[in-house]
């Protein structure tokens, strides 16, 4: 599955109508990930300034080519991954997305 067009800032857009209930044990999407043969350290920069900015941009460039970017981001949100680049999002971007994602989850459960 290809991600929908990027939202402003380059992160993947999430729809409130989409059920984002990917469980940790349901990670079969990983075998299709563009990053599967990439050094994992690329996706876990130390810091958010200086050289880390280039590393983050490089990791996000890999994510933009990935057919399972949405699934990766869903996994990160579902399992509360607070470190690294997941689904093309930085730690800060994911913190913001997670707040909105949790709100949608509560609304869908109601």
For 37, 68, 108, 110, the CA distances from 86, given in Å and listed in that order, are 15, 11, 24, 28
Q: What pLDDT does residue 25 have?
A: 60
Domain segments of the chain as ranges: 28-109
Q: How confident is the model at residue 27 (pLDDT cuts 50, 70, 90)?
A: confident
pLDDT (tens digit per residue) in 12-22: 444 433 434 44
Full-model pTM: 0.73
Residue 83: CB partners within 8 Å, gap ≥ 6? 44, 91
């Amino acid at each position: 599955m290809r991600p929908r067009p990027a939202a402003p800032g380059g992160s993947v857009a999430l729809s409130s109508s989409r059920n984002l209930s990917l469980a940790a044990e349901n990670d079969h999407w990983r075998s299709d990930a563009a990053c599967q043969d990439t050094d994992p350290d690329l996706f876990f920069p130390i810091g958010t300034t200086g050289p880390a900015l280039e590393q983050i941009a490089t990791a996000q460039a890999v994510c933009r080519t990935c057919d399972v970017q949405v699934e990766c981001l869903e996994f990160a949100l579902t399992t509360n991954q607070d470190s690294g680049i997941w689904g093309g999002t930085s730690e800060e971007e994911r913190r913001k997305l997670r707040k909105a994602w949790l709100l949608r989850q509560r609304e869908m459960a109601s």
